[in-house]
Amino acid sequence: MELTHIEHIGIAVKDINKAINYYEKILGVRCYAIEKVEDQKVRTAFFKVGQTKIELLESTDSDGPVGKFIEKKGEGIHHLAFAVNNIEQALKEAEGKGIQLIDRKPRDGAEGLNIAFLHPKSTFGVLTEFCENKTEKEG
Ligand code: CMX
């Protein structure tokens, strides 16, 4: 597989508006998009720091992955997302090397990306996401 860059760092927060306020007013970075991802039961807010994206995640359902994470571990870094050129190939390769997949097929993520997760139990405690840009793939 080929990881091209860190697509984003996901941070779980209880109150996305309060967290946006911190990033904008204290750190001085602008929130350029807010998006609800129904499939993942989250509301997301995006920032760019240089080439690196930060994705804030607020749970829209206490039973969703971010709701459960906050209940168990509290707020904090939730996942690390890598951009890949071919997500199906990356998943197949990881699975072939014994990594436990959460998603065997990509799903729809925020910003129109194809996304899939690797289980943190297989990845040294870091929930790992692969992202593929559909537009680049089509274009
Ligand atoms: N990072 C590291 N470890 C995590 C974790 C995370 N984000 N989330 C859960 N875990 C650990 C738990 O601490 C727990 O460990 P122990 O067994 O040692 O206690 C174990 O994984 C199981 O956790 P759980 O609370 O029982 O939760 P589930 O097994 O039901 O779900 C997971 C865990 C990772 C499979 C689930 O959160 C998932 O499917 N995540 C992928 C989807 C996702 O996170 N979506 C939100 C982001 C969407 C986006 O970016 O758009």
Cβ of 8 closer than 6 Å to ligand 1, yes or no, is no
What is the distance in A from the centroid of ligand 1 to the CA of 1?
A: 24
Give 130's pLDDT tier (boundaries 50, 70, 90): very high
Q: Compute CA 49 distance to the chain's CA centroid, rounded to the nearest angstrom.
A: 16
Ligand 1 pocket member 134 (CB < 6 A): no
The tally of CA atoms less than 13 A away on the side-chain side of residue 29 is: 20
Please give the Cα distance from 97 to 112 (Å, whole number): 28
With the most atoms of ligand 1 within 8 angstroms of its CB, the residue from 53, 73, 127 to mutate is 127
Q: Which residue, judged by its Cα, is nearest atom 40 of ligand 1?
A: 65
Q: What is the pLDDT of residues 48-92, one digit of tens each?
A: 999 899 999 999 998 999 999 999 999 999 999 999 999 999 999
Overall average pLDDT of the 87-108 stretch:
97
Q: Is-above-0.75 flag for pTM?
A: yes
